[in-house]
Amino acid sequence: MALPTRPLGKTGMEITRVGFGSWAAGGAGWAFSWGPQDDEQSISAIRHAMEGGVNWVDTAAIYGLGHSEEVVAAAMEGIPLADRPYIFTKCGLVWDDSDRYKPALRMGAPDSIRAGAEASLRRLKVDVLDLLQMHWPPDDGAGIEDYWGAMLELKEQGKVRAVGLSNHYVDRLEKAEAVGHVDTLQPPFSAIKRTTATEIDWCADHSTGVIVYSPMQAGLLTGAFTAERVAGLHKEDWRGRDPQFQGERLKANLALTEELRPIAQERGISLAAVAVAWALSWPGVTGAIVGARSSQQVDGWLPAAETELTPAELERIAAAIEKTGAGDGPVTPTTATPTTATPTTATPTTGS
């Protein structure tokens, strides 16, 4: 099955508008897990997405402390190289195997970046990584020229096809671009989490591809959540600690979901697909990383790959956001902050 594609910046890769996110495939037993996950279900979900036309998979070394990459590799077994999707992964988070629940260190030292890339190559069982992204800005004292320079060297050596940044704001993007072109950015972005619109605008101005994560806001925009379900989340599910799943924020987020339900019903698609299509409608967004723990969940959001929301629908969603007060950031591209604005800062609450 063929799905529409878009060029991923200047990388030469044409990617489908949705990609399979394999964070949950990391399973339980680490600080930011989604709780227990069956490997066979993950493998089936990845292959089901491929059969549906999805041509890229996103993972990261930290997901399951290497396990997600191993699951992705298992999903590729027996599939001819020419038929395999692009594999995107991330580096820069170093964990302690003796304490799997200890927060990972954010390392930008060149030796650490190189070691992380080699480890990902081994776990994924590939000779070249299609895309390697720095997961978070480091806190080990390494500067942009250190970790970004190391990643550009990996690209020059042919071990990585493209390099990018994740969770980086405009100030760091500017500094990295001065060292070497930023092929891609991976920011969080959804109808709830909208503050990274500034970074998306910067990417549009610099021919940098953008693959947003959590367009369904970790499931909140799928219509599957209630306050009761949140209260019953598995003890290892990171969402139970996320402020978006608590108190007044949760009420506003669930209210927004209900406001979007009529659009999904009129379209004959799921709420999940509407949420993903909203993120994809933003100028500058190349594709959206969408997670799934089963083939059935893939079927829920896959229609977003071919859904173009109308201006009238986008206006209704903007009005719904303003009515419910859900999230932060501009509600339409016309209300986005110019890229010359002072970048926002944030303390991460998840391992994405």
Question: d(Cα 121, Cα 262) in Å, to the nearest integer?
Answer: 45
User: Is residue 281 a contact partner of residue 257, using CB atoms and an 8 Å limit?
Assistant: no
pLDDT in tens, 129-172: 999 999 999 999 999 999 999 999 999 999 999 999 999 999 99
Q: How confident is the model at residue 73 (pLDDT cuts 50, 70, 90)?
A: very high
The pLDDT, as a whole number, for residue 333 is 84
Classify residue 345: in a domain, yes or no: no
Burial class (CB in 10 A: 0-12, 13-18, 19+), 255: middle
For residues 40-61, give the mean pLDDT. Answer: 98
As a whole number, mean pLDDT of residues 185-203 equals 97
How high is the pLDDT of residue 162?
98
Residue 300 confidence (pLDDT) above 90: yes
What does the chain come to in residues?
A: 352
The answer to whether 285 touches 301, Cβ cutoff 8 Å, is no
Cα 261 from Cα 284, distance rounded (Å): 26
Q: What is the mean pLDDT of the chain?
A: 94
336 — pLDDT class (breaks 50, 70, 90): low
One-letter amino acid of 249:
R
**What is the CATH classification number for the domain harbouring 141?**
3.20.20.100
Q: What is the mean pLDDT of residues 14-43?
A: 97
Half-sphere exposure of 88 (CA within 13 A, CB side): 35
Which pTM value belongs to this model?
0.94
Quickly state the pLDDT bin for 337 (edges 50, 70, 90). low
CB contact set of 96 (below 8 Å; sequence gap of 6+): 102
pLDDT digits (tens, 9 = 90+) for 111-123: 999 999 999 999 9
Task: Give pLDDT tens digits for 259-292.
Answer: 999 999 999 999 999 999 999 999 999 999 999 9
* Predicted local confidence at residue 1, as pLDDT: 73
Which of 89, 248, 259, 68 has its CA nearest to residue 163?
89
pLDDT at position 115 is 98
Instruction: Please state the domain count of the chain.
Output: 1
Q: What pLDDT does residue 340 have?
A: 39
Which whole-number Å values give the CA distances from 60 to 94, 132, 158, 284, 288, in the listed order? 11, 9, 20, 23, 16
Residue 302 and residue 52 in contact, taking contact as beta carbons nearer than 8 Å: yes
Segments forming the whole domain that contains residue 267: 15-327
Strand duo 5-7 + 184-186: pairing: unpaired
Average pLDDT over residues 177-183: 98
Q: Let me know if residue 343 belongs to a domain.
A: no
pLDDT at site 346: 38
Domain contains 238: yes
Task: Summarize pLDDT for 90-104 with one digit per residue, the tens.
Answer: 999 999 999 999 999
> Could you give the dihedral angle defined by the CA atoms of residues 228, 229, 233 and 238, in that order, rounded to the nearest 10 degrees?
-100
Ordered DSSP codes for 75-131: HHTTS-GGGPPEEEEEE-EE--TT-TTSPPEE---HHHHHHHHHHHHHHHT-SSBSE
Predicted confidence (pLDDT) per residue in 313-331, tens digit? 999 999 999 999 999 999 9
- Check: CB of residue 348 under 8 Å from CB of residue 199: no
Q: What is the pLDDT of residue 348?
A: 41
158: left (phi over 0), alpha (psi -120 to 50) or beta: left
Q: Quick one: what percent of the chain has pLDDT higher than 70?
A: 95
